Amino acid sequence: MRRPSVPFLFVMVVIGLAVAGSSAFAAAGYVDVPVNGSRQADTATGAGLPSFFGPSDYNHAVFRLGPFAAGKRYELTLTFDAGTDIGYGMSWVDGDPWGKDFASFVGIGTGTGTREMKGKESKFLFSVDAKSTASFLYLVVSSNKPWKLTVGVSDRMTGKTRDSQDQWGYYYVTDFDVDRTSPFLLTRGQAAAPVAEAPSSGYVDVAPGQAKKTATASGWTWMPTYLGGPDQLYAVFRLGPLAAGKRYEATLTFDAGTDIGYGMSWLDGDPKGKDFASFLGIGTGTGTREMKGKESKFLFTVDAKSTASFLYLVVRTSKPWDLAMALSDRLSGVTKDTQDKWGYYYVSDFDVDRYSPFLLTRGPAQ
């Protein structure tokens, strides 16, 4: 007989529990966990969640996972110190749990047990339904006492299965696909919106499936003269990790009509370092015709012989400029002949122009 996936007191699974329709709740305090990232949090009282997630005196933490790509499989890792004898529950939810429209896919109740195991993990494998129209999955964690935990999510599978055991000999992997609990059809909420990052001299990381917004700013005192020198305004996007041999679509979004000149340099290697090379430079501007949410799209491929995984995009402007950058490995089907709603050609295909594939050799693999 299979041992339980965790060495604890009880396991309860509830599938498709409810669709909530209730009054407004306390302001959301999400812990955002991006794909290929992890975040630590503590459960606490006062979350103001509906009673569906337990009484008001329970301790809660709410993780907003994503943005996810429809049709893709993911691995979530819960990390904590076992032996604290804390009972906890996890609800996997489509839609904002503080909102008026949400539904639970599955609920799990268990505990940390009494055997001390520092850095104990529980892994959960799941897929997002290909018909999904929303990009975020919410994980509501409740506990009978305050509890410190870390949640990480990745689209790079480690190869673990339900039969994998941890260092203490426990089965610790739950596969929702095998259990027929997922794929999760995400329909409540919106597709991924750009995540705001304040202007600074730090890079803005954009992974496949993500969108980030920022603004060009001064203060780049180290910027080499080759890219414009320290007196200009910049934003630097670090795109990746990228897979060798794969084709991508990058989307620059801004409000046209501000008459701002800008340049874009696509680089192999960290421009702050001593070893980088430019694949391509583009100079243009936002023009004088007002077009809110104007897009420029760039199609490119990473050379199959690449040994590095990141592409750097340095954006230089004549004035401060608000912009967003999105990256996807799910191509929308646009071509160089595609026109936007204002009648402009807005797609650059670097493969067609023979600028890419980009051979990435400067920098780490991931």
Instruction: Name the most confidently modeled range: 95-99, 161-165, 191-195.
Output: 161-165
What's the average model confidence in pLDDT over 162-174?
96
Q: Tell me, yes or no, whether 344 and 201 share the same domain.
A: yes
Which residue in 55, 138, 33 sits closest to 92, CA to CA? 138
Kindly state whether residue 184 falls inside one of the protein's structural domains. no
Distance of CA 147 to the CA centre of its chain: 25
Residue 25 pLDDT exceeds 80:
no
pLDDT (0 to 100) of residue 20? 38
Kindly state whether residue 190 falls inside one of the protein's structural domains. no
pLDDT (0 to 100) of residue 13? 33
Please give the C-alpha separations between residue 80 and each of 61, 93, 217, in angstroms, as whole numbers.
Answer: 14, 21, 40
Q: Tell me, yes or no, whether 29 and 170 share the same domain.
A: yes
pLDDT (0 to 100) of residue 16? 36
Residue 80 pLDDT exceeds 80:
yes
Kindly state whether residue 1 falls inside one of the protein's structural domains. no
Residue 35 pLDDT exceeds 60:
yes
What's the average model confidence in pLDDT over 214-242?
91
Q: Tell me, yes or no, whether 200 and 339 share the same domain.
A: yes
Q: What is the mean pLDDT of the chain?
A: 87
The residue out of 123, 146, 175 marking a domain boundary is 175
Question: What are the phi and psi torsion angles at 260 (to 5°)?
Answer: -105, 125
Kindly state whether residue 188 falls inside one of the protein's structural domains. no
Residue 164 pLDDT exceeds 70:
yes
Residue 308 pLDDT exceeds 50:
yes
The rounded distance, in Å, linking the Cα atoms of 296 and 316 is 16
Q: Tell me, yes or no, whether 123 and 208 share the same domain.
A: no
Question: How many folded domains does the chain comprise?
Answer: 2
Q: Tell me, yes or no, whether 160 and 211 share the same domain.
A: no
Q: Tell me, yes or no, whether 125 and 236 share the same domain.
A: no
Q: Tell me, yes or no, whether 233 and 164 share the same domain.
A: no
Residues contacting residue 215 through CB under 8 Å, at least 6 positions apart? 199, 235, 320, 321, 322, 323
Q: Tell me, yes or no, whether 131 and 267 share the same domain.
A: no
- How confident is residue 86, by pLDDT bands cut at 50, 70 and 90? very high
Q: Tell me, yes or no, whether 113 and 260 share the same domain.
A: no
Residue 366 pLDDT exceeds 90:
no
The residue out of 175, 207, 234 marking a domain boundary is 175
pLDDT (0 to 100) of residue 46? 85
Residue 114 pLDDT exceeds 50:
yes
Q: Tell me, yes or no, whether 87 and 128 share the same domain.
A: yes
Q: Tell me, yes or no, whether 42 and 86 share the same domain.
A: yes
Q: Which residues pair with 165 in a beta bridge?
A: 171
Domain containing 222 — which CATH number? 2.60.120.380
Domain residue limits at 146 = 12-175
Q: Tokens representing 223?
A: 């910027």
What's the average model confidence in pLDDT over 168-193?
89
Residue 220 pLDDT exceeds 50:
yes
Measure CA of the first residue to CA of the last residue in the chain; give whole Å. 40
- How confident is residue 27, by pLDDT bands cut at 50, 70 and 90? very low
Kindly state whether residue 366 falls inside one of the protein's structural domains. no
Kindly state whether residue 365 falls inside one of the protein's structural domains. no
Question: What are the phi and psi torsion angles at 222 (to 5°)?
Answer: -90, -5
Kindly state whether residue 228 falls inside one of the protein's structural domains. yes
Kindly state whether residue 256 falls inside one of the protein's structural domains. yes
Three-state SS for 51?
A: helix
Q: Tell me, yes or no, whether 73 and 162 share the same domain.
A: yes
Three-state SS for 226?
A: helix
Question: What are the phi and psi torsion angles at 132 (to 5°)?
Answer: -65, 140
pLDDT over 70 percentage in the chain? 88
